[in-house]
Amino acid sequence: MDDFTRNGGSAGPPTTRRGGLDRRRVLKTTAAGATTLSFAGCLGTVGSITGGSGSEDPITIGTLAPNPDSNYIGRGMARGAQVAVNEINDDGGLLGRDVELAVGDTNSSPLEARRQYQRLILEDEADFTVGVFDSPSLETVIEDIAEQQTIHLTSGASTPAVSQKVNENYDRYKYHFRVGPTNSYDLGKDLVNFLDDNAANIGWNSIAVLVEDYPWSQGPWEILQDRLGGVGVEVTMKRRYPPASDDFSSLYDEAEAAGADAAFIGTAHTGTDALLDWAYPNRPEVPPEPRPFAFGGIHVPMQLPTYYEQTDGLCRYGVAQISATANSEAGPLTQQFVSRYRDTYDATPVYTGYTTYEAVKLYKHVIEQAGTLDTETLIGALEDASFGGATGTIQFYDKDHQYAHDLEPTDDGAIYMQWQENDEGEGVQEVIWPENHQTAEYQTPHWL
């Protein structure tokens, strides 16, 4: 679940540190098949943030994030990693050494992601890397990860293609693990499970399935085709609508005519247009005349903690999958992270902040457990890990699984929230499922 961007503020300017090529092999660039060095220029938040003052060189963790100066998703990733680094250094570092963060701005571009990965490894001498939000970038960078034999924990992109590479050629690609979110096929399974557990209780007895036609959504789309028949919900229509769609009136007319109780959607790129055409199709006339059905599913924009303000409350009653919310206990580190993030940045983290934070904390866990930075030892420790993070328990499919080294869903993994309004008129992301994480009951839109 990736590829969504939204403007925001700054993650704070880092300082650059040493450059060096001595301990990393030179990467091959794609230009004319030549072997050369590719170094990107320093961008806003690109560089290193040193945590302490140990006598040895610090352990460097590289973070790949899209536009961390101006994008909520990328900024959340960089900030989440920094909060974890701060905690580690406050606790005395790792193996007697300080930890520092180096940030690379991928600009949501596969080519730039590769350039920034090269810079993190060759110039900043990153010992490990985390991050990568969009699937095309991850599918490009994985080749460099394999060549550099450097562990990478993905904390944004959902493509299963990379995990399949680990399964098919373990010795080459074993350095990749996905901390979160789950891959796109498991996201699809979560959609089906949510309906199976909740549809009858919340009045979603018939649904219109609407999924944007981007590569990331292929997994959820296939799962919905295969498994919805066993849920006991009437599917009144199914559409995989064109990329960059910005007018949903005809789709919603069809859903309305078919008598759908809910639009069950899968969207990252087109989510805000889809939401506005549901909640306020008659804009700018007032008052809004919403469509006569509920709305929810996978909706990346609704995961933003500031989305209620950004949409003037039009996302109220919308339902979306999410890794964690600021008022939930998704995992043992959820509230610790939220508190320290707010103390540091006076803001609430977005979902990629949670996953990137726990990726860095997972590194700390396995390094301390193993007592070494040896790559092969740490790969084994990661494969055996069961770590309580900020979004739940982190454990991975084994190397023989179709999606090797992907986050393995657990009972505390999948969370669905609804935007609700509190007594002060503020928007709140309330967890409505599963029951063990529930912070509020589902609310039916007041016009239904």
**Which of 393, 394, 439, 445 minimizes the C-alpha distance to 416?**
439
Q: What is 185-322+414-437's CATH topology?
A: Rossmann fold (3.40.50)
Confidence of residue 1 (pLDDT cuts 50, 70, 90): low
Q: And the tokens for 136?
A: 């095309």
Percent of the chain with pLDDT over 70: 87
Q: And the tokens for 160?
A: 């299963």
pLDDT digits (tens, 9 = 90+) for 146-172: 999 999 999 999 999 999 999 999 999
CA dihedral (318, 231, 215, 243) positive or negative = negative
- Name the one residue in this structure whose structure tokens are 């009972």: 411
DSSP letter at 396 equals B
Who contacts 124 (Cβ-Cβ below 8 Å, separation ≥6)?
A: 17, 18, 19, 47, 48, 60, 62, 102
pLDDT digits (tens, 9 = 90+) for 40-61: 333 333 444 444 444 589 999 9
Topology alike, domains 31-181+331-394 and 185-322+414-437: yes
Q: What is the model's pTM?
A: 0.87
Let me know: does 58 contact 128? Beta carbons within 8 Å. no
The predicted model gives 227-256 an average pLDDT of: 97
Burial 315-325 (b: 16+ CB within 10 A, else e): bbbbbbbbbbb
Give the mean pLDDT of the chain: 89
Determine the pLDDT at residue 426: 97
The predicted model gives 442-446 an average pLDDT of: 98
pLDDT digits (tens, 9 = 90+) for 66-80: 999 999 999 999 999
Dihedral of the alpha carbons of 108, 110, 111, 113, in degrees to the nearest 10:
70
Whether residue 232 is predicted with pLDDT greater than 60 in this model: the reply is: yes
Distances (CA, A) of 369 to 302, 362, 365, 394: 37, 10, 6, 15
Let me know: does 148 contact 121? Beta carbons within 8 Å. yes
Let me know: does 161 contact 137? Beta carbons within 8 Å. no
Percent of the chain with pLDDT over 90: 86
Let me know: does 334 contact 356? Beta carbons within 8 Å. no
pLDDT digits (tens, 9 = 90+) for 88-113: 999 999 999 999 999 999 999 999 99
Instruction: Give the integer Cα–Cα distance in Å for 222 and 200.
Output: 23
SS3 160: coil
Q: And the tokens for 395?
A: 């454990």
Let me know: does 19 contact 60? Beta carbons within 8 Å. no
The predicted model gives 204-229 an average pLDDT of: 96
User: Could you state, in order of their start, the residue ranges of all structural domains in the chain?
Assistant: 31-181+331-394, 185-322+414-437
The predicted model gives 173-177 an average pLDDT of: 99
Instruction: Give the integer Cα–Cα distance in Å for 169 and 149.
Output: 13
pLDDT digits (tens, 9 = 90+) for 328-384: 999 999 999 999 999 999 999 999 999 999 999 999 999 999 999 999 999 999 999
Cis preceding-peptide flag for 434 (omega within 30 of 0): yes
Q: What CATH number is given for 31-181+331-394 in this structure?
A: 3.40.50.2300
Q: And the tokens for 97?
A: 């050494």
The predicted model gives 422-442 an average pLDDT of: 96
Helix (H) or strand (E) holding 147: helix 135-148
State CA 169 to chain mean position distance: 25
pLDDT digits (tens, 9 = 90+) for 301-326: 999 999 999 999 999 999 999 999 99
Confidence of residue 411 (pLDDT cuts 50, 70, 90): confident
Whether residue 30 is predicted with pLDDT greater than 90 in this model: the reply is: no
Whether residue 21 is predicted with pLDDT greater than 50 in this model: the reply is: no
Q: And the tokens for 266?
A: 């899968």
Confidence of residue 25 (pLDDT cuts 50, 70, 90): very low
What does 243-280 look like in DSSP terms, one character per residue? TT----HHHHHHHHHTT-SEEEEEESTTHHHHHHHHH-
Whether residue 35 is predicted with pLDDT greater than 70 in this model: the reply is: no
Instruction: Give the integer Cα–Cα distance in Å for 397 and 412.
Output: 16
Determine the pLDDT at residue 112: 98
Q: Determine what percent of the chain falls in helix, strand and coil, rounding each to the nearest 5.
A: 35, 20, 45
